[in-house]
């Protein structure tokens, strides 16, 4: 498919020219804090500019919703209600700025509030995860089916970063004892592959911004896992203020976690 070939070429070009040259090579003043311990680097900004320019050439006329553009002008988010591209120019900026993996590029196309095509690109390894709604999930061109770890208890990566104190306590007291907890990678471009490739069984996300989750939720669902809101409703890119998302390697694992969450005091 020509679209996928063009997008893949763009992802690799942006990585080579805008991202990797600055990995472990950021000068003083090239990292800023957007607030709330949310860093942005000159590489994020250049990557988004290059991606937006390239995507506009690949498919003209679509709204382009980039993380950094939306931070500068929240009105950009209105594009999520239309046919659009959704860009996270460096997912895992916290790691990138610290000079360590993982980090990647997340890209999705959406229509009617739902993502229908997504790309997850690991900038260091070159791993490319691709999904198109109804067509399956792929890693480096090979179709995959989500794998559970097979461990008992299941392996869970629970992001507490954006939860309030009461919710963190509830997770620790009532959810954590039923799982083997592992560290979160602070990078959705790594967390979603872990849920389908036999590394993690289930994950909880509190903040659910479109650029972090549009591609990953689609890809995990297409792989035969499940990503959905805790009440079972589908993830939508135009509900950017809504909190809570469960991702799991299988629908059964998702059901178990959702049931536990519903019973929280």
Annotated binding site: 67, 88, 90-91, 212
Task: Look up residue 103 and give its two tokens.
Answer: 């980090």
3-state SS assignment for residue 136: strand
Q: How far apart are CA 118 and CA 115, in angstroms?
A: 7
Instruction: Cite the DSSP H helix spans in the chain.
Output: 2-14, 42-58, 67-72, 93-97, 165-170, 188-196, 210-222, 251-262
Q: What tokens does 227 get?
A: 């990503």
Residue numbering of the annotated binding site for Mg(2+)? 67, 88, 90-91, 212
Which residues have a Cβ under 8 Å from the Cβ of 20 and sit 6 or more positions away?
123, 124
With 0-12 CB in 10 A as exposed, 13-18 as middle and 19+ as buried, what is 261? middle
């Amino acid at each position: 498919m020509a679209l996928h070939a063009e997008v893949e070429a763009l992802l690799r070009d942006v990585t080579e020219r805008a991202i990797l040259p600055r990995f472990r090579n950021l000068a003083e003043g090239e990292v800023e804090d957007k607030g709330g311990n949310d860093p942005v680097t000159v590489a994020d900004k250049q990557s988004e500019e290059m991606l937006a320019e390239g995507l506009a050439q690949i498919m003209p006329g679509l709204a382009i919703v980039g993380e950094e553009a939306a931070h500068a002008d929240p009105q950009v988010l209105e594009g999520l209600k239309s046919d659009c591209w959704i860009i996270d120019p460096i997912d895992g900026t916290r790691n990138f700025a610290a000079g360590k993996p993982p980090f990647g590029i997340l890209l999705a196309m959406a229509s009617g509030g739902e993502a229908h095509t997504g790309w997850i690109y690991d900038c260091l390894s070159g791993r490319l995860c691709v999904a198109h709604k109804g067509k399956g999930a792929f890693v480096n061109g090979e179709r995959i089916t989500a794998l559970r770890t097979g461990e008992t208890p299941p392996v869970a990566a629970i992001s507490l970063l954006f939860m309030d104190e009461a919710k963190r306590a509830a997770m620790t007291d009532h959810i954590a004892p039923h799982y083997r907890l592992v560290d979160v990678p602070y990078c959705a471009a790594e967390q979603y592959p872990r849920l389908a490739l036999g590394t993690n069984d289930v994950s909880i996300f509190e903040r659910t911004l479109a650029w972090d989750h549009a591609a990953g939720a689609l890809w995990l669902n297409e792989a035969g896992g499940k990503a959905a809101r805790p009440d079972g409703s589908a993830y939508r890119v135009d509900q950017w203020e809504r909190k809570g998302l469960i991702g799991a390697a299988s629908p059964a694992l998702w059901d178990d976690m959702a049931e536990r969450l519903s019973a929280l005091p």
